[in-house]
Structure 1
């Protein structure tokens, strides 16, 4: 990895994507157990790990002639991928249209608009991404071949960005001492790409996924409303490789919120709620695998994206719609083929 790149002058902000720091947690963890390390993905230029994904997808689309000057970048998102799309679009000169649930944080909405993108809101919150994707389909039909959809839930470049970069960075930063990797599941790209690389380097590494206890789609095949913005979107994405996953760690929304606050107050890491979910899961994993040398997880984004949420204020009502949620028959079949270790 070219860690020395930041010593010089970069040509544009996209060249600063990736090569994020790794930090050892000292105060929120139990002493005497495995080291718990967090990869600081909010140091990416738009503030989340999704910069890796969007940059890779757009770059490959341009090389293949699928994306040309004058076209529109479009994406359905719960926030971070949309913001990353706005940043990449701004640098490359594309008009951007973002479709997002109305229940996401005000900071996400304002950040998207600050980049000059067009924002379309749909009903609901995290678990209502199906409605977002329906609106994306309507917008694509309206604009026709003028649109290039980022397609984070289906494009293999999502996972490739982590296989080619995130995984190797983790392996190099830990000198190959990582025994457990933990990541929450949104699109599944980070889990799939990073796990694939790390397992090639160490077939015995444990790969665990954290998910909100209120919406245990992988653990129990159930969808519910929760407060962890950006994950557990109410579907099992095509690019999520279930064969790579050893176990699921369930973390209640309030537990994730509590850990995110602790990280700010005790470690100086002001992060989002999904990062609290990851670290809470890593602490549980340390109890389950006490002989592990290092446990690695991700700080996905910055707490500044959550100032108007319960992370920084009083308890709030969940923003999801009052409707029946059920996973598809295809997703049910995928889950039946796997027997995960479930950790509560």
Structure 2
């Protein structure tokens, strides 16, 4: 399975990546658009991914919307205590979609190798300070890189 942001489908667009003589990307991919899934889909298709595309090392391309990734990153934190970033939430959202169409008893591996603390200033945490009490605000200010202003 290959997945990418719904609004920046470089592979799913079917448009080729412009490359220089050495094979490196020569320009931004024409299907690229900014998206909130940090760590996914730069504005070009790297050579290692191009090789996987050319050799069909994947079965399907499944796009996922950035807001869906944010929703599931928040749900993982609130319901399971798993603190991941937007890309982790997006990965989980795709795994849920796959699980919804897989035969009963299927085993699905979903790896979330990131932590959410580096995303404190991203849309993942928009509005969270409005829900914090005074003790939580004090605690957040004592943690470098995690300050929220109430």
Question: Shared fold (TM-score greater than 0.5)?
Answer: yes
Question: Does 2:26 align with 1:233?
Answer: no
What is aligned with 1:275?
88
CA contact (8 A) 1:272 1:300 kept: no
Of 71, 75, 79, which residue of structure 2 is paired with 1:262?
A: 75
What is aligned with 2:19?
none
What is aligned with 2:146?
none
Structure 2 portions without partners, runs of 5+: 16-30, 128-150
C-alpha offsets along residues 170-197 of structure 1, whole Å, 9 cap, x if unaligned? xxxxxxxxxxxxxxxxxxxxxxxxxxxx
C-alpha offsets along residues 142-197 of structure 1, whole Å, 9 cap, x if unaligned? xxxxxxxxxxxxxxxxxxxxxxxxxxxxxxxxxxxxxxxxxxxxxxxxxxxxxxxx
Of 119, 123, 131, which residue of structure 2 is paired with 1:306?
A: 119
| Bigger fraction of residues in strand | 1
What is aligned with 1:249?
62
Shift of 1:292: 5.5
C-alpha offsets along residues 252-282 of structure 1, whole Å, 9 cap, x if unaligned? 1100000000000111101010001100000
TM (norm. structure 2) is: 0.67
Instruction: Measure, in 2, the Cα distance between the counterparts of 1:251 and 1:302.
Output: 20
Q: What is the alpha-carbon root mean square deviation over aligned residues?
A: 1.3
CA contact (8 A) 1:219 1:248 kept: yes
Number of matched pairs: 107
Structure 1 SS opposite 2:87: helix
Structure 2 SS opposite 1:250: strand
C-alpha offsets along residues 39-84 of structure 1, whole Å, 9 cap, x if unaligned? xxxxxxxxxxxxxxxxxxxxxxxxxxxxxxxxxxxxxxxxxxxxxx
What is aligned with 2:4?
211
Moved beyond 6 Å, runs of 4+: none
CA contact (8 A) 1:229 1:273 kept: yes
TM (norm. structure 1) is: 0.30
Instruction: Measure, in 1, the Cα distance between the counterparts of 2:126 and 2:11.
Output: 30
Instruction: Measure, in 1, the Cα distance between the counterparts of 2:110 and 2:2.
Output: 10
CA contact (8 A) 1:259 1:279 kept: yes
Shift of 1:311: 0.7
